[in-house]
Amino acid sequence: MKLGIFGLGYVGVVNTVCFAELGHQVIGCDIKSQKVSSLLSGKSPVWEPLVDDILQKQLASGNIKATSNAAEVVQHAEIILVCVGTPSMSDGTVNLDYTINTTIEIAQILSGTNKDITIAYRSTIPPHSVEGTFRPLFDKYLQNYTGKLKLAFYPEFLREGTAVKDFMEAPRIVIGTKESDISELQTLLSYNQNSPVVITDTHTAEFVKYVDNCFHAIKVAFANEVYSIGKCFNINIELANNIFLMDKHLNISARYLRPGLPFGGSCLPKDLRAMRYFSRLHNIEAPLMNSLTESNEKFQERILQKVLSHQKSKILLVGVTFKNFTDDVRESPMLRLANDIIDNSKVEFAVYDEDINLISLRIENSNIVKYIEIDLQKAIANTELVIVTKRYMPEVLKYVNDKHIVLNFADMKRYDSAAKLDYLY
């Protein structure tokens, strides 16, 4: 394919050489002539292992060209990748000036033509940028155009130092678009049968890059904080970390990385409080650790507001122990929700949960006992709003009708039901 790449910074250069290595004819474009000259001389304007070797090879093959003439690139390309910078302002605002200017320039060049073209943005941009900012720019500046323009977002997940490998052996490739047919871009990106191609809407694709990087930042901050505290106890840090990393079932896995209810139970809150105490004891600043409880509390409040926003006078909570297949209600967010509903609203309230131990509940949480129902079907028949927090969604859906609202707090699945369904996410 014939590709045009706008922006010869880190992302643009890596994409230029890698797509050329895959056999495509690539023209890179940058307003800075020194970057263009450097690339044409066989010297990458950015340092990245393997890039210079591939660059020189593909320059010799004729697969790579470079220019500061945007019109030359647009006229050449079947697909354009926009890789210009999106720097962050001091307040966190993302500066889209370069992407906006590039978009306007491309639109003006395409005006008056019938050229079919796909434009995919690779620069990291806030959700809704493609459809909320860039498409309206094409609507405004693209005049007398009779071709087919397709827009997409194609996030990059390259790590400096291993970018070529990350490109060629991508764990996943994401395409965000509202186009009904994005086959040209999909064909371009189906270069490794072991790299799944996920097609989604643009704003989801735009957001996942932020998810990745924020999680990486959390991991780094977590390790630094927790082992700074451990050092005060003369812990063998290397061994402790190796032991932690050995658990691929919970610690290094997809578990606990799915959005859901707040954390609770007998262990997490207690041990987090202990770790915060250790940090105070040894004068170790641990802002990440200290923020976790507040974050959890804020989410607990959002859940309550979600419930109250429906303004129903009959509410059934299905699931009150802190997780499936345990009778433990210690610091259960569901038990907290039950108490919050009782305290904050004048409603007919009921609780159903097969896992409840009534004897323990009478001893530790006697105020809840009077709300317990043992017949789910009967309890649903007598309520308007059903909140499901555990494994009971399939059973609940058997008994609800179009007069019910079901809040699915148990998972992220979308179910079919006669009832109105609402979700945390």
Q: Classify residue 93 by its DSSP letter.
A: -
Query: Where among 202, 233, 261 does a domain terminate?
Result: 202
At 121, is the secondary structure helix, strand, or coil? strand
Last residue of a domain, one of 151, 174, 202: 202
349 shares its domain with 284 = no
Give the number of other Cβ atoms within 10 Å of residue 410's Cβ: 21
Residue ending a domain, choose from 170, 202, 234: 202
> What predicted TM-score, i.e. pTM, was given to this entire model?
0.90
Per-residue pLDDT of the chain (425 residues; tens, 9 = 90+): 999 999 999 999 999 999 999 999 999 999 999 999 999 999 999 999 999 999 999 999 999 999 999 999 999 999 999 999 999 998 999 999 999 999 999 999 999 999 999 999 999 999 999 999 999 999 999 999 999 999 999 999 999 999 999 999 999 999 999 999 999 999 999 999 999 999 999 999 999 999 999 999 999 999 999 999 999 999 999 999 999 999 999 999 998 898 999 999 989 999 999 999 999 999 999 999 999 999 999 999 999 999 999 999 999 999 999 999 999 999 999 999 999 999 977 899 999 999 999 888 888 889 999 999 999 999 999 999 999 999 999 999 999 999 999 999 999 899 999 999 999 88
Tokens 């569901």, located at residue = 334
Asked if residue 88 and residue 117 are part of one domain, the reply reads yes
* Same domain membership, residue 278 and residue 338: no
Domain that holds residue 61: 2-202
307 and 295, same domain (yes or no) = no
Shared domain for 306 and 289, answered yes or no, is no
Residues 184 and 39 in one domain: yes
DSSP labels for 201-219? -HHHHHHHHHHHHHHHHHH
89 secondary structure, DSSP code: P
238 and 139, same structural domain? no
The β-bridge relationship of strands 2-6 and 25-29 is parallel
Q: How many distinct structural domains can be found in the chain? A: 3
CATH of the domain at 354: 3.40.50.720
Q: Which of 29, 214, 232, 267 is catalytic?
A: 267
246 with 317, same domain: the answer is no
Q: Are residues 29 and 116 in the same domain?
A: yes
DSSP state of 133: I
Clarify whether residues 126 and 11 are in a common domain: yes
**How far is it, in rounded angstroms, from Cα 227 to Cα 233?**
10
Q: Is 267 a catalytic residue?
A: yes
What is the Cα–Cα distance from 170 to 146, expressed in whole angstroms? 36
**Rounded CA separation 197/190 (Å):** 7
| C-alpha to C-alpha distance for 321 and 266, rounded to whole angstroms | 11
Together in a domain, 156 and 9: yes
